[in-house]
Every structure is written in structure tokens, then in C-alpha cells.
């Protein structure tokens, strides 16, 4: 599909980034010669393996100047199936402290439950233990444009009560937000601003509600992958669900400058313990351009009269510097200052599902690290 031209001479890439793995590619091509489906490239068991993303010349996980995180582990998931459901295309995450389960959704309308393994507080393994399609109001699995689930957040995941967890899911191709059970049952629709319900508001049908989070004060907050057509390409916006397109509720939107990387898109949101928002931004121009991943903090209560808010980059991963990256689209809070982010393999044998465990370092910790 050709790129979409924008008024400011930027382009929106409509394809996903590809990364070469020649051995696996050769195997898949060989199988295709004998009319074997590419799904045969999948492994028969759900398993994971260590997959360092650090550049070869680094070992500590922290760069000197502009990274405020510490990497605690990164692993990749072998492609496989569970209950005949492919395990691929993870685009959103939500951690359930009460159940000790990591939920993930794919952009094919599937929900997964994962068990994680840790050793000395570092991520060492993940296993998919359950998978189900997301369903519609009558209990049928979502299909076509209705199945493009992208963002994930959680309700009652840390209240010390088991069995009451609910999930909030945002959708892209048919823009909407909905509440689901952990078994994929639709519980309720979530009201969002009128402009966000219209596909024509977005720069492309596949660049809509990529992410969602729950905020204790503002409720459900979502964002378009790229700014809406009427907005500047370099200005992202967060929208609270109670926002009603009126001046009276203008404080239910928060604008912030996109990262300097060309075509930087919002692919993940998470509410930080201090009430600010952690934003995952991904940038690439075409299938061969090195990918750039930014983790940024948006200060919701530090905005001017036009709701342009302070934003701070807390981590920057650039493929050109040797970071082993992929299409990171989901982020979730794990515990204390620790988080997880995941990449979408796009059901492509050349890409990987990578789960990264990291810690955000506060200013005091960062100062101590720099002084050592």
C-alpha cells in the first residue's frame, strides 16, 4: 500500500517494519514450495527464550545522558498455537496483580493469558496458558474491521480481590472503546468523544485508537496513533472518555509535542503511580529504516491555558545505535517502578514477540548512578 502524503510533507507508513532472520525465512520459503502453510513455521509448544535488546557494546541497560530506566530482562516468544488460536500480534498489555496474570490482546481480536517467570526480580520466561476470541454483544467472535483490538487496560487488577477483574479495550479500524471480561465477553461500551468515533477524523483507517489506560481521576484515557487530520502532525493528544467536544470540558484533553523522530506514533499508554501518563512512541518510515522507540512522561497537571502539557523523554532506543528492536505497541505497570512492554510480530516469521522488563529510575537513583 502506498504511503499517505500529509500537508506538512511527512508520510505515514502503512506497512510494518521487517527484520531479517535468514534461517527462518529460508525454512518458511522451503515449506511453501511444498504447499505447506506458513503456520507450519510455528512451534508446537508455547515457549520463550532470552532475547537481549542491548547493543553489543553495552551491558548495564542505561545510557549516560537521557535514559532514566534500567533493563531487567527481555525475552522472545516462539510462535505457536493454543486451542487452535495463533499466538501472535500482541498489541496491548495489562498486568493483573491479584491473579498474577499478564493479559495481552492481538490486533486480530484475540485475548491471551500469560504466566511470567522471574529470577532475582528479573523476567526470565513467559508462557501463554489461555486464549480466546473477543466476542460481540451476542457472543459471536469479532470479525473484519470490528476485530482490530489494539489498546488494553485493567479494572480491579490490584484490589486484593480475585475474580472481579475487567478489561478495557480500544479498537482501531472501527474506532471505539469497550469493557470486557477476562474470558473475552463484551460487558459494556465506553463512551468516547464524537470525533473519535468517526473514521474520517483520522489520517488513515488503521491509525486510530491504538492505546488506552485507566486514570483514577479522569477515567478512561485514549489516544489516536497519529494526530487527527485537523491537528498538527507533531502534536499528540490524550482524550478522556467524558470529553464532549465542548469548551466546558476542555480540560479533558491534553496535548503534547511528539518526539523528534519522524512519524512518531503513540502505540501504548499507562498511568504512572503519580498520576502522570507513560507514553510509548514508535517511529519508522519504511520497512528497512531502523526503528526508534521512545518512552515519555506526560505531566497532566503541568499544562498551559491551551492544554499543551510538559513532556519528558525518559528513554530512547534507536535501532541505528545497535538496539535490537521491533514493533513495540504495548506497555503496562508491573509493580513499584517496574513495567513491561511488548512488540507486535505482525504474524510475520521475520519478526518477534519481545517482552521487555524495565524499571523507571527516579531522580535520586539516577543521580546516584551517575556519581558512581
Phi-psi region of 242 (alpha: psi -120 to 50; beta: other; left: phi over 0): alpha
Residue 359 C-alpha cell reads as: 524499571
Q: Which of 151, 123, 168 minimizes the C-alpha distance to 335?
A: 123
Q: Which of 65, 99, 86, 171 minimizes the C-alpha distance to 128?
A: 86
Contact in structure between 283 and 311 (CB atoms under 8 Å): no
Residue found under cell 506514533: 265
The distance from CA 279 to its chain's CA centroid, rounded to whole angstroms, is: 9
Q: Which of 116, 149, 120, 119 minimizes the C-alpha distance to 132?
A: 149
DSSP-based helix, strand, coil % in the chain, nearest 5: 10, 45, 45
The b-or-e profile of 134-161 (16+ CB within 10 A means b, else e) is bbbeeeeebeeeebbbbbbbbbebeeee
In DSSP terms, 180 is beta-bridged to: 167, 186
Q: Going by C-beta distance under 8 Å and a sequence separation of 6 or more, which residues neighbour residue 171?
A: 146, 148, 149, 150, 177, 178, 208, 209
Residue found under cell 545522558: 65
Long-range CB contact pairs, 96-101, < 8 A, 24+: 96/154, 96/157, 96/158, 96/165, 96/182, 97/157, 97/158, 97/335, 98/156, 98/157, 98/158, 98/159, 98/160, 98/161, 98/162, 98/165, 99/157, 99/162, 99/165, 101/182
Residue 361 C-alpha cell reads as: 529510575
pTM equals 0.85
Q: How far is residue 13's CA from residue 241's CA, in Å, rounded to a whole number?
A: 28
Torsion angle in degrees (nearest 10) through CA of 271, 330, 327, 10: -50
Contact in structure between 82 and 130 (CB atoms under 8 Å): yes
Per-residue pLDDT of the chain (372 residues; tens, 9 = 90+): 333 344 444 556 654 554 434 444 443 344 333 333 333 343 345 688 998 998 876 655 554 445 899 999 999 998 788 888 999 999 999 999 999 999 999 989 999 999 999 999 899 999 999 999 999 999 999 999 999 999 999 999 999 999 999 999 999 999 999 999 999 999 999 999 999 999 999 998 888 999 999 999 999 999 999 999 999 999 999 999 865 555 555 568 999 999 999 889 999 999 999 999 999 999 986 667 789 999 999 999 999 999 999 999 999 999 888 888 889 999 999 999 999 999 998 888 888 999 999 999 975 444 444 444
Q: How far is residue 207's CA from residue 302's CA, in Å, rounded to a whole number?
A: 27
Amino acid at each position: 500500500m502506498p504511503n499517505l502524503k500529509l500537508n506538512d510533507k511527512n508520510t505515514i507508513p502503512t506497512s510494518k517494519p521487517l527484520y531479517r532472520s535468514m534461517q527462518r525465512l529460508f525454512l518458511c520459503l522451503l515449506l511453501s514450495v511444498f504447499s505447506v502453510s506458513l503456520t507450519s513455521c510455528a512451534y508446537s509448544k508455547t515457549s520463550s527464550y532470552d532475547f537481549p535488546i542491548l547493543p553489543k557494546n553495552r551491558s548495564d541497560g542505561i545510557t549516560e545522558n537521557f535514559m532514566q530506566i534500567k533493563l531487567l530482562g527481555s525475552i522472545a516468544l516462539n510462535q505457536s498455537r493454543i486451542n487452535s488460536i495463533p499466538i501472535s500480534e500482541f498489541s496491548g498489555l495489562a498486568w493483573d496483580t491479584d491473579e498474577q496474570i499478564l493479559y495481552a490482546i492481538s490486533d486480530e481480536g484475540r485475548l491471551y493469558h500469560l504466566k511470567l517467570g522471574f529470577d532475582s526480580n528479573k523476567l526470565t520466561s513467559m508462557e501463554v496458558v489461555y486464549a480466546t476470541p473477543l466476542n460481540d454483544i451476542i457472543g459471536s467472535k469479532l470479525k473484519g474491521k470490528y476485530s482490530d483490538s489494539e489498546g488494553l487496560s485493567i479494572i480491579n487488577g490490584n484490589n486484593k480481590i480475585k475474580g472481579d477483574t475487567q478489561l478495557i479495550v480500544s479498537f482501531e479500524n472501527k474506532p471505539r472503546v469497550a469493557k470486557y471480561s477476562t474470558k473475552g465477553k463484551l460487558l459494556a461500551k465506553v463512551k468516547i468523544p464524537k470525533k473519535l468515533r468517526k473514521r474520517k477524523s483520522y489520517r488513515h483507517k488503521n491509525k486510530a485508537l491504538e492505546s488506552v489506560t485507566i486514570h483514577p481521576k479522569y477515567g478512561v484515557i485514549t489516544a489516536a496513533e497519529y494526530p487527527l487530520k485537523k491537528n498538527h502532525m507533531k502534536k499528540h493528544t490524550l482524550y478522556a472518555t467524558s470529553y464532549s467536544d465542548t469548551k466546558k470540558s476542555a480540560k479533558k484533553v491534553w496535548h503534547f509535542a511528539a518526539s523528534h523522530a519522524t512519524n512518531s506514533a503513540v502505540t501504548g499508554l499507562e498511568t504512572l503511580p503519580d498520576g502522570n501518563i507513560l507514553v510509548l512512541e514508535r517511529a519508522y518510515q519504511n520497512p528497512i529504516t531502523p526503528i526508534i522507540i521512545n518512552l515519555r512522561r506526560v505531566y497532566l497537571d503541568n499544562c498551559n491555558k491551551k492544554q499543551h502539557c510538559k513532556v519528558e523523554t525518559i528513554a530512547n532506543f534507536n535501532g541505528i545505535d545497535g538496539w535490537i528492536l521491533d514493533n513495540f505497541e504495548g506497555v503496562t505497570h508491573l509493580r513499584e517502578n517496574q513495567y513491561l512492554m511488548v512488540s507486535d510480530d505482525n504474524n510475520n516469521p521475520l519478526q518477534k514477540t519481545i517482552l521487555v522488563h524495565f524499571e523507571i529510575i527516579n531522580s535520586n537513583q539516577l543521580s546516584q548512578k551517575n556519581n558512581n
